Structure 1
């Protein structure tokens, strides 16, 4: 099966899962949405659970790669933090349906929680790395980088989700192009709380 077909299945699956929830989504619905036979899906994924896990792992891996690329474009820790936050916001806006699914479904069972939390920890660790370098270089104050990275990731994710639901009629690209406010607000909050040095 071509990557293009798998991509179509993932695209259809994220839409169906987000609209109906994992429990009510059916493989027939996903096959219909993707324009493929149900057997085509089962050729690669033995169950709905396996498809869901593959879909979320794929999306989270792409998000990590996107965030790292954007962050690596600059060297100064404050600029890295800005680039990282902008990348997170941009990715989640561009993949708004995935963002909804991520926050709505990944904590719904112990098995899923364990698998997806590993990816979330990696995203949080990227933020932690930037904070730790900034502390070492004197750009950031002495803080608990682990707890702060978790708080930043959580706050940004929830903020994006609220924006996605509020402007559900806008496409992902439109949201990404018009919504820089969460990044600005987050950086202002960090400055106000004394995490970043003025």
Structure 2
């Protein structure tokens, strides 16, 4: 991502997180990014375009980091542990991105459909790790697609817990979460 797009990426996340998607304006995003309005429109034709960009880039970063960390791992539980650690750390460190993403899950507008499609791709990554664990007999294989969504939900609610309780020990949160998930879906 070039420098200008990175500035717009950060500014739009901040604006969407603070004001919501509908109340944010292209003028404010340009202002926050420190770029001319024309520069903003050169890169993006609308707020919808910007939203699509930040979701695509944000989720891609998570997927890339998970793939990089897990590429040499053999144990599926360690892969799930890596998913937890990475997602929770990124959620805590980039809370505005996660707030923006989660706030736009519901609705029937194009951006909400696009967000759900991008997240579905991420859930497939999680589902793949769950399948490996099921193939090794470590978890039940009843409905891995739903389990992937539930896994994401448990991670997200653990982040909420960490924010409320100001708990930043990602390793401890991960072990607690993984223990809960494995006992809940384990054999």
So what's the TM-score if we normalise by structure 1?
A: 0.84
Shift in Å, 1:18: 0.5
The answer to whether the 8 A contact 1:77-1:130 is kept is: yes
Shift of 1:140: 2.5
For the Cα contact (< 8 Å) 2:15–2:29, is it kept in 1?
yes
The 3 A distance-change label for structure 1 pair 191 and 20 is same
Deviations 1:12-55 (A, max 9, x none): 11001100001111112111111111111011111122112212
Q: What's 2:171 paired with?
A: 180
- Mark the runs of 5 or more structure 2 residues left unpaired by the alignment: none
1:5 & 1:141 partners in 2: Cα distance? 47
How far apart, CA to CA, are the structure 2 residues paired with 1:185 and 1:166? 15
Please, what is the CA RMSD of the aligned residues? Answer: 2.1
Q: Which residue of 2 aligns with 1:72?
A: 71
Shift of 1:75: 0.9
Give the alignment's TM-score, normalised by structure 2.
Answer: 0.89
Gaps of 5+ in 1: 168-174
Counterpart of 2:50 in structure 1 is 51
Shift of 1:185: 2.2
* Aligned mates of 1:85, 1:63 — CA distance in 2: 11
TM-superposition CA deviations, 1:102-149 (whole Å, max 9, x none): 111243443122211111111111121111112212232343211111
Structure 2 distance, partners of 1:7, 1:44, is 11
The alpha carbon displacement at 1:100 in A equals 0.7
Change (3 A) 1:32 1:164: farther
Are the structure 2 counterparts of residues 32 and 110 from structure 1 closer, same or farther at C-alpha, using a change threshold of 3 Å?
closer
SS at the partner of 2:74?
A: coil
2:26 is matched with: 27
- The 1-side partners of 2:103 and 2:42 are apart by 27
Higher mean C-alpha displacement, 77-86 vs 183-192: 183-192
